[in-house]
Amino acid sequence: MRHGTSLHNRIRKKFIVMKKIFIFVLLLSATFVSKAQSGLFVGGSAGFGFRNYFSVSAEVRVGYEFTDWFALGSGLGAVVFVGRDDFFAVTGIAEPFARFCVWHNESIYLDLHVLGGIEFTDKLQFCQIGVRPSLRFRVSDNVDIAADLIVLGAQYIPESGWRPSLSFSSLNGGVRLAYHF
């Protein structure tokens, strides 16, 4: 029983920290919205993954679209991992990005994201730099829906250093929604 209580306390503490981060990002987004200019976008993403565990991710994104061809932004979110033998972890993610449109017509965009990201708990879990292709659909003048694919790049893991990576994790695959002001 003691093991279960300890696990419950760890889960509760991690959710409190993640809740504070989400509230901060939402307040920051609201500040941007109140001073909205054309080009500003606010949105989020959600994803999931399977390995030896199941993971679910959610991220809030804020950015500025300078042209149809170029945008800068950043995301902040969380990933929840659940596995066998009471394995449970919650990590935070931060991901600044530059988005380059490779091709588009009136409503379909093929984008390339150049990104840097970190995943953290009370310490650094890993860093990632890379390129992620995505397919974006402009469903109205103000709304985009995008499907993120894989990330090709490099990861830094504190125990083993830098290594090349091709990542299909819940951080890198998912669906994004953005509202443009």
DSSP readout, 25-80?
HHHHHHHHHHT--TTEEEEEEEEEEESSEEEEEEEEEEEEEEETTEEEEEEEEEEE
Beta bridge partners of 115: 97, 130
Amino acid letter, 142: N
Percent of the chain at pLDDT > 90 equals 20
pLDDT at residue 109 in the model: 95
CA dist 75 and 117 (Å) reads: 9
Q: What pLDDT does residue 166 have?
A: 80
Structure tokens at 116: 């840097």
pTM over 0.85, yes/no: no
Residue closest to 52 by CA, chosen among 169, 179, 151: 169
92-128 pLDDT tens trace: 888 899 999 999 998 999 999 998 888 888 788 888 8
Write down the pLDDT at residue 28.
Answer: 57
**Residue ranges of the chain with pLDDT lower than 70?**
1-37, 168-173
What is the model's pLDDT at position 103? 95
- Tell me if the domain spanning 2-180 has CATH number 2.40.160.20: yes
